[in-house]
């Protein structure tokens, strides 16, 4: 990794984040991992359809630089890397999940997909993401990079988003996910796995109202 170039790409970030970033680069280097920061607001994950703001596959972190929540997203992806390095059970289970394969199925096959099976695969992703968010909050408690109270609500919004994806079988980058209308219905404490085992349709209705323009041809699967 070109540390000088990477540091230049975060020159306008907060001092607290810069300190953490230096620590993160040491960690990645120690474990022979890589980091790529891309210009722009969206990136692709390999040959997968669609775009995202960042990803970690256990060997590399790649992230878009021009996103609004760059610092938070970087810490999130770094925590996924920690899961991989530590061989965390939730990370390994998620690697076996067919969640993304199911999302990429043609529409007619999605209709025939077993909803119980797809929920089980979705919940594997929720488990690894919930563990990741807890790690982010723990790291931020030490490094004080951003507002933990706000981040907790954003994390919950992201976790509940998987419920919405389960219902719609659609995934797109939805920047409006963290709008006030969604955040005001989010718990102030990080949701437990028990809470995330059931779908709150009152929250889903808020998502549908806010995100309806982000999804094409919405179909609620039963």
pLDDT at 171: 81
In angstroms, the CA 114 to CA 96 distance is 17
User: Region 35-43: what's the mean pLDDT?
Assistant: 95
Percentage of the chain exceeding pLDDT 70? 89
Q: How far is CA 104 from the centre of its chain?
A: 18
What the block records as the tokens of 96 is 């076996």
pLDDT at 49: 65
The residues with which 36 forms a beta bridge, in sequence order, are: 62
User: Region 109-119: what's the mean pLDDT?
Assistant: 74
Radius of gyration (Cα) for the chain, nearest Å?
A: 17
User: Region 35-58: what's the mean pLDDT?
Assistant: 88
pLDDT category, 193, cuts 50, 70, 90? very high
Q: Does the pLDDT of residue 221 top 50, yes or no?
A: no
Select from 34, 33, 54 the least CA-distant residue to 45: 54
User: Region 106-110: what's the mean pLDDT?
Assistant: 69
pLDDT at 201: 93
In angstroms, the CA 51 to CA 46 distance is 10
In angstroms, the CA 84 to CA 79 distance is 9
User: Region 126-154: what's the mean pLDDT?
Assistant: 98
What the block records as the tokens of 110 is 């999605």
Residue with tokens 């007619």: 108
Mapping DSSP to helix (H, G, I), strand (E, B) and coil, where does residue 61 land? strand
How many other CB atoms sit within 10 Å of the CB of residue 207? Answer: 25
Which strands, in side-by-side order, build the sheet including 54-56? 34-38, 60-64, 54-56
Q: Which residues, in sequence order, are CB contacts of 5 under 8 Å at separation 6+?
A: none
Mapping DSSP to helix (H, G, I), strand (E, B) and coil, where does residue 217 land? coil
What is the pTM (predicted TM-score) of this model?
0.92
Q: Is the dihedral of CA 159, 144, 82, 5 positive or negative?
A: positive
201-211 helix and 148-168 helix, angle to the nearest 10 degrees: 90
pLDDT at 116: 83
pLDDT at 111: 55
In angstroms, the CA 3 to CA 192 distance is 37
Q: Does the pLDDT of residue 59 top 50, yes or no?
A: yes
Q: Does the pLDDT of residue 177 top 80, yes or no?
A: yes
What ranges make up the beta strands (E) of the chain?
34-38, 54-56, 60-64
Query: What mean pLDDT, rounded, does the chain reach?
Result: 90
């Amino acid at each position: 990794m070109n540390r000088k170039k990477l540091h230049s790409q975060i020159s306008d970030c907060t001092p607290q984040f810069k300190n953490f970033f230096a620590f993160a680069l040491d960690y990645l280097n120690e474990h022979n991992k890589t980091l790529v920061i891309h210009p722009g607001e969206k990136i692709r994950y390999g040959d997968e359809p669609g775009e995202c703001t960042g990803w970690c596959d256990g060997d590399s972190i790649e992230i878009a630089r021009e996103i609004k929540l760059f610092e938070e997203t970087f810490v999130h992806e770094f925590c996924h890397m920690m899961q991989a390095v530590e061989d965390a059970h939730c990370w390994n289970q998620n690697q076996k999940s067919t969640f993304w394969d199911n999302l990429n199925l043609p529409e007619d096959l999605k209709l025939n997909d077993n909803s119980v099976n797809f929920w089980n695969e979705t919940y594997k992703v929720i488990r690894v993401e919930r563990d990741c968010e807890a790690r982010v909050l723990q790291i931020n408690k030490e490094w004080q990079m951003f507002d933990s109270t706000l981040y907790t609500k954003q994390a919950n919004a992201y976790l509940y988003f998987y419920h919405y994806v389960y219902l719609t079988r659609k995934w797109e980058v939805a920047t409006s996910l963290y709008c006030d209308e969604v955040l005001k219905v989010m718990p102030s404490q990080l949701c437990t796995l028990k809470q995330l085992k059931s779908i709150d349709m009152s929250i889903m209705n808020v998502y549908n109202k806010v995100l309806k323009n982000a999804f094409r041809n919405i179909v609620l699967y039963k």
